[in-house]
Amino acid sequence: MRKLTGVITAMTLALFGTVVAAEPAHAVAPTPKVCTGSTVLPTSTNVDPLGWGDLKNAKYVDGGIQLTATATVEAYAYVDFTAVPLSQIGDLSTSFSNATGSFGIILGGEANIHYEGGAYWTKTPNVFPSQGDGVYGAPDLNNLLSDPGINEVAVWVNPGGSLLLHSQNYGCQTQPFNFLQPVVVAHTPAITGSPTIGSILTADPGTWTPADATLSYQWILDGKTNIAGATAVTYTPVAADSGHTLAVRMTGTKDGYTSATALSPAVIVAPAPGAFQSLSPTRLLDTRVTDGKIGPAQTRTLQVTGVGGVPSTGVSAVVLNVTVTETTSGGYLTVSPTGTTRPTVSNLNWSNGDTIPNAVTVKVGTNGMVDLYQSGPGAAQVIVDVAGYYVDGAVVEAGGFTALAPSRILDSRVVGGKFVSGEARELQILGMGGVPVSDVSAVVLNVTVTETTSGGYLTVYPSGTPKPTASNLNWSGGLTIPNLAVVKVGASGKVSLFQSGPGTAQVIVDVAGYYVGGDAKVLGMFVALAPSRVLDTRGTTPVLPNSNEVLPILNKGGVPSTGVSAVVMNTTVTETKAPGYLTVFPGSSVLPTASNLNWSGAGSTIPNLVTVQVGTDGNVTFRNGSTGTTQVIADTAGYYIGI
């Protein structure tokens, strides 16, 4: 215990709470004691009356100041205190230039400082070499700390909680005052370990002062939600943390000290295997610009990882929109993983002169590439845009996607014959083409109609459910049209295919992957929906040339009002008036250099499956890139879970 000398006046000492950056603790206010006369003082072990006069006539003595003049009689106190290292004080930036009262502090265990009338006075002359004579006139307390020999400070630390204040009539009373506790000095913690599901993360506290401070931990999700029970130095991310940020908040406490809190930088928990990561559409290939047409029976490899927003590693499959144009003969295009045997399937089919788009979900092959095989006998320009990718790894979470090597599970030209007008035919899904026999919520199918004898449409939907007012493929007589379909699997493990007619059509179905069954809740997982129409401009007005149609998609067609990152829609243009293209993109974001549907001229009906991010405004936008009007139809097939 040490003693501190300071002058006491009638003024309050409210400035003490701002001496350091930390919030000061407050002593319990004692019951005021009132006295009269300069010599009548309350009984207290830490209060001692002393005559006090003109400071300039004072001289320093051990333990206080002895005055040579006593024209003004006041009182000062010896105050018990605890020294506090400067490292625990923080910024002593408060200016006392406007203070009207007096206060005392002690620096470095040697220099008593008294403030009066805008100047600091020291017990020991020349303690601040630049000032000399024991007087320091600067009003900013920070300037007092320029002496490298000063390494600690104590400021009015008095557990008794009162000071003697002198009144104008030379009476006095005890008053409560603020005092500063030592402060726990925090260090910004760091998180070590791999931020992946099932891996242990550890909070590294660094160095806190004092070293024996008690440290507590709270792990936080997305910077705002305390994770229940996550109060240890370690934390193991679970599937529900996938795609979210994690941080740890640490608090240091010690009796007699002001506590301190620090928050670590956040880390992002890697998405769970099978999660979909949507991207703003980005062009990866346009042979009209680079390398020219793909010739007959030619295979061209395309890098799909490390480009267009797709990571260079950790990708199982990509979602592409592929378009062929400037075709010089009929043909087909097969997209398959590089380094694997080319499957006996096709993703796009066309006649001479056609421009045909189709969505393609394809496993990533050797070195992050896929193969584009063009059958010929003519040549074709090929355009590829990426819309997203799936996270690689063992897929166990409900709604997670597992990509398969494309496998044909129906060809009515071989088995079953043509679909007649108004016919619905069931197709076994579970246990076929690599799809498991159970625990499957939905499948990704490439569906093609050919040998069509009239215009019509095909609807693919879960068996055992009512046929929806929606379509997956639309065609005119004689056309061969492909389209990707994401379809819920019916209770019997089947899907139904309805051909509207009035003519007949051959139907070909290839499976490209499936989604794990169960109640999807983890970020990036897919929730399959029964097809539902959310847009049909034929009931209002067509989309004008080079204009946008904005669709608020949340809370429509089974899509919830929150927690959606992207939607999957079967999109169709019809009653076109001129050649053009349709781009579907997030809300009010910048129009990308990409397209989802392309058509060759007036009178076209073209479908395509579209996976599109939901804009921050909850909308998706359809851009008609044509000089003529077009009607647009959109049916929801599902959505991906977002924050």
Euclidean distance between CA atoms 377 and 293, whole angstroms? 13
The pLDDT value recorded for residue 181 is 52
The pLDDT value recorded for residue 233 is 97
**Rounded to whole angstroms, what are the CA distances from 262 to 104, 191, 207, 212, 230?**
32, 13, 12, 17, 16
The pLDDT value recorded for residue 313 is 92
Mean pLDDT of the 40-60 span: 30
Domains of the chain plus CATH, in order, are 5-175 (no CATH), 190-268 (2.60.40.2700), 401-516 (2.60.120), 520-643 (2.60.120)
The mean of the pLDDT values for the chain is 75
Q: Is the pLDDT of residue 633 over 90?
A: yes
Q: Is the pLDDT of residue 292 over 90?
A: yes
Residue 33 banded pLDDT, cuts 50, 70, 90: very low
Only one residue has tokens 């000398």, namely: 5
The string of pLDDT tens digits covering residues 316-350 is 999 999 999 999 999 999 999 999 999 888 888 88
Mean pLDDT of the 296-309 span: 96
Mean pLDDT of the 213-220 span: 96
Mean pLDDT of the 154-182 span: 31
Only one residue has tokens 């579209």, namely: 610
Backbone phi and psi for residue 181, each to the nearest 5 degrees, phi listed first:
-85, 160
The string of pLDDT tens digits covering residues 370-426 is 999 999 899 999 999 998 999 998 888 899 999 888 899 999 999 999 999 999 999
Mean pLDDT of the 533-561 span: 95
The pLDDT value recorded for residue 271 is 86
Q: Is the pLDDT of residue 68 over 60?
A: no
Contact 642, 565 (CB under 8 A): yes
Mean pLDDT of the 510-538 span: 91
254 or 162, higher pLDDT = 254
Q: Is the pLDDT of residue 136 over 70?
A: no
Contact 511, 594 (CB under 8 A): no
Euclidean distance between CA atoms 594 and 581, whole angstroms? 9
The lowest-confidence range among 136-150, 276-290, 325-339 is 136-150
- Vertex 106, ends 100 and 110: CA angle to 5°? 140
Listed residue (110, 95, 78) closest to 19, CA to CA? 95
Q: Could you tell me the two tokens for 192?
A: 């070590």
The pLDDT value recorded for residue 470 is 82
**Rounded to whole angstroms, what are the CA distances from 434 to 156, 430, 536?**
78, 9, 36
Mean pLDDT of the 156-180 span: 29
The pLDDT value recorded for residue 155 is 33
520 or 249, higher pLDDT = 249
Mean pLDDT of the 6-15 span: 26
The pLDDT value recorded for residue 220 is 97
DSSP-assigned letters across all residues of 301-358: EEE-SSSTT--SSSEEEEEEEEEEES-SS-EEEEEEETTSPPPS--SEEE-TT--EEE
Q: Is the pLDDT of residue 205 over 60?
A: yes
Residue 163 banded pLDDT, cuts 50, 70, 90: very low
Backbone phi and psi for residue 17, each to the nearest 5 degrees, phi listed first:
-70, -10
Give the best-scoring range by mean pLDDT among 160-174, 200-214, 517-531, 593-607: 200-214
The lowest-confidence range among 38-52, 202-216, 450-464 is 38-52
592 or 235, higher pLDDT = 235
Residue 428 banded pLDDT, cuts 50, 70, 90: very high
Residue 523 banded pLDDT, cuts 50, 70, 90: confident
Euclidean distance between CA atoms 125 and 141, whole angstroms? 18
Euclidean distance between CA atoms 254 and 349, whole angstroms? 74
Q: What's the whole-model pTM score?
A: 0.65
The lowest-confidence range among 42-51, 84-93, 254-263, 505-514 is 42-51
